[in-house]
């Protein structure tokens, strides 16, 4: 299997992962077809297929076949290795010279991430169970 960093180093593959992340957040989504990815990203079908093969081999996407069509979904578990590698660089100890200066930006980024996750979760719950369950 290719090194996860090599896989995500390519901009087109990152664009595909972002698109799948956005589409997978819709509870009605059952995957994204190759033609939808081609249309959304404006890249040729052979190029998208080549990148999807790399993403499949890295287990970053799953594929569901339906007749002649293939539907892709994000499988983010392999990105845990990237997360584990990055975390030490994101801690305050990594900024020994100016730890106080690094903390506010980090806190803002964390708050934004938590806020987006909470909003996404609330939207998903509301979509599935209705407005009463989200209160």
Domain ranges of the chain: 4-77, 91-129
**What pLDDT score does 134 carry?**
41
> CATH class for domain 4-77?
mainly alpha
**What pLDDT score does 103 carry?**
53
To 10 degrees, what angle do helices 11-24 and 34-41 make? 120
Residue 62: which of 30, 104, 25 has the closest Cα?
A: 30
Q: Which two tokens stand for residue 46?
A: 């052979």
E runs forming strands in the chain: 32-33, 61-66, 69-74
Q: What is the mean pLDDT of each run of 10 residues along the chain (135 residues)?
A: 84 94 83 95 96 96 92 91 83 58 66 67 60 44
Residue 5: which of 69, 82, 60, 90 has the closest Cα?
A: 82
Q: Which residues contact 118 (CB under 8 A, 6 or more apart)?
A: none
**What pLDDT score does 27 carry?**
76
Statement: the pTM of the whole predicted model exceeds 0.75: no
- Structural contact between residues 8 and 17, judged by C-beta atoms closer than 8 angstroms: yes
**What pLDDT score does 21 carry?**
92
């Amino acid at each position: 299997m290719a090194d996860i960093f090599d896989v995500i180093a390519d901009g087109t593959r990152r664009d595909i992962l972002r698109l799948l992340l956005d589409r997978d957040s819709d509870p009605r989504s059952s995957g994204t077809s190759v033609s939808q990815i081609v249309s959304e990203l404006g890249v040729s079908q052979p190029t998208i297929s080549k990148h999807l093969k790399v993403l499949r081999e890295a287990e970053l996407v799953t594929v569901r076949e339906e007749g002649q069509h293939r539907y892709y979904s994000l499988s983010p578990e392999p990105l845990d290795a990237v997360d584990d590698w990055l975390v030490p660089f994101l801690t305050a100890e990594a900024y020994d010279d100016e730890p106080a200066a690094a903390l506010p930006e980090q806190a803002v980024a964390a708050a934004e991430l938590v806020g987006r996750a909470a909003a996404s979760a609330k939207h998903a719950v509301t979509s599935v169970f209705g407005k009463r369950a989200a209160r």
